[in-house]
Each structure stands twice: as C-alpha cells, then as structure tokens.
Homo-oligomer: A and B are copies of this chain.
Amino acid sequence: MNIRVAIFEDNKLIRDAYEAILSGTPGFQCTGVFSNCADLDFAIRKSNPDVVLMDIEMPGIDGIEATGFISKNSPEIKILIQTVFEDDERIFAAICAGASGYILKSNGMIKLLAAITEVYNGGSPMSPTIAARVLKLFQRFAPPPTTSSDEYKLSEREKEVLSLMIEGMDFRTIGNKYFISYETVRTHVKKIYKKLHVTSASAAVALAIKKHLV
C-alpha cells in the first residue's frame, strides 16, 4: 500500500520537485498538489491523504491555520510541517494546531521521505534543532512538580477499573467488562480510594485524569 500524500506549497519549483519525488518513489503516492489553502475542505476531500505535507508560509490561509482546520476535522490525517523558519512562535503554534512532525526544508529529500513514513507510522520526526526548541518550550510551560504518577502504587487491575470509571461506567458494567463480580469491583474501588486518599468516584476520576494515573 502506498502512503497517500497531499502537498501544500506555494513555491512552484519546490512543489513540482516534491510531486516528482513522491510520484517516482515506490511506496508513496501524491494524491493532491495545492499552491494555497483557499478551498482546503475540498482539497482534503478530493485528495484523501494519509499525510499532508504542509508549508507554513503561504499566501492567504497559512499552514498553521490549515493545520488546525485539518486536525480538527480529520484528526486521522497526519500533518508534516515543512518550513525554512524555526522560530519558537511558529513551532509552538504548529504543535498546538496539531502538527505531527516539524522538519526543515534544508533537510533534503531523503530525510523528507523518511519523515513522511515516520508520521504515517505514528511517529513525530523533528529536526534536532526543532526538537531542542520544543524541549525548551516544554520546560517553560511544564506545570509544577507533578507527583510521579505511580506514587499511588495502583495495581494493574485497579488501574483498569479506574480507567473505566473515567468512562463513566457504573460498577456493575465494569464487572461485566472484566468478567468479575460487582462486589469485586467494589473491593477494588475501595482500595483505589484509600490509595488515592479520596472518598468519591468524582474525586478519584478527577485525580486520575489530572495526574494521568491511567
């Protein structure tokens, strides 16, 4: 199966080069080439891509706006940002908009193909310089010392039960899911509450989500 790639790039030379490379490489398939995001919705539906190769700098709707639109409406599509810039603002905006990868145009065609494959497979290729900026941004925005999540030492079963509580299931339904009795679920829940120092499902769920215990 080929990886279906749609290209958004305003520079004709680069655009044609990308298209040629993708069309000429086994495993890849260029299903759409666009010089702007004017009719983005149509472009996406028409090209039906697995991966979008997105230039940030474009006239009209820019690549970050377009990224936000695509990731909101078609979250299954991976978006690989391509740019000549590496400033914090754009990186930050692109990530928040839902970009899956962020590489520099200077990286060359072989790396580009590798990056496309990686985003397709769920990874997030980033140039090391980009990654360095992401880490710095991360450290800046990171919340105060969160308690290490297995601080509470929940057992595997307890985590499973807790995760279904987060889905809003009642104890009987949880029991059915795991083929254990209602009373057993209750036993687990009681232990969870003791370990988390809470006395209600709401508080347990809130804590679990906030501290990412599951």
Q: Using a CB–CB distance below 8 Å, which chain A residues touch chain B?
A: 72, 88-89, 92-93, 95-96, 98-101, 118-119, 121-129, 131-132, 134-135, 137-139, 141-143, 145-146, 148-150, 165-168, 170, 198-207, 209-210, 212
Whether the pair A141, B141 counts as a contact (CB closer than 8 A) is: yes
Which of these, B98, B99, B101, B128, contacts A123 with CB under 8 Å? Answer: B128
- Nearest neighbor of A90 in chain B, beta-carbon distance: B148
Which of these, B92, B101, B135, B206, contacts A124 with CB under 8 Å? Answer: B135
Which of these, B89, B143, B205, contacts A141 with CB under 8 Å? Answer: B143
Which of these, B132, B146, B168, B202, contacts A168 with CB under 8 Å? Answer: B202
Residues in B neighbouring A150, C-beta threshold 8 A: 89
Q: Given the complex of chains A and B, what is the CA–CA distance between A165 and B202 in angstroms?
A: 7
Q: Given the complex of chains A and B, what is the CA–CA distance between A124 and B118 in angstroms?
A: 17
Which of these, B95, B132, B141, B149, contacts A100 with CB under 8 Å? Answer: B132
Whether the pair B170, A206 counts as a contact (CB closer than 8 A) is: no
Which of these, B98, B135, B204, B212, contacts A95 with CB under 8 Å? Answer: B135
Residues in B neighbouring A118, C-beta threshold 8 A: 128
Residues in B neighbouring A119, C-beta threshold 8 A: 128
Q: Given the complex of chains A and B, what is the CA–CA distance between A148 and B145 in angstroms?
A: 26
Q: Given the complex of chains A and B, what is the CA–CA distance between A148 and B94 in angstroms?
A: 12
Which of these, B141, B142, B148, B209, contacts A209 with CB under 8 Å? Answer: B209
Whether the pair B149, A206 counts as a contact (CB closer than 8 A) is: no
- Nearest neighbor of A207 in chain B, beta-carbon distance: B168
Residues in B neighbouring A93, C-beta threshold 8 A: 148
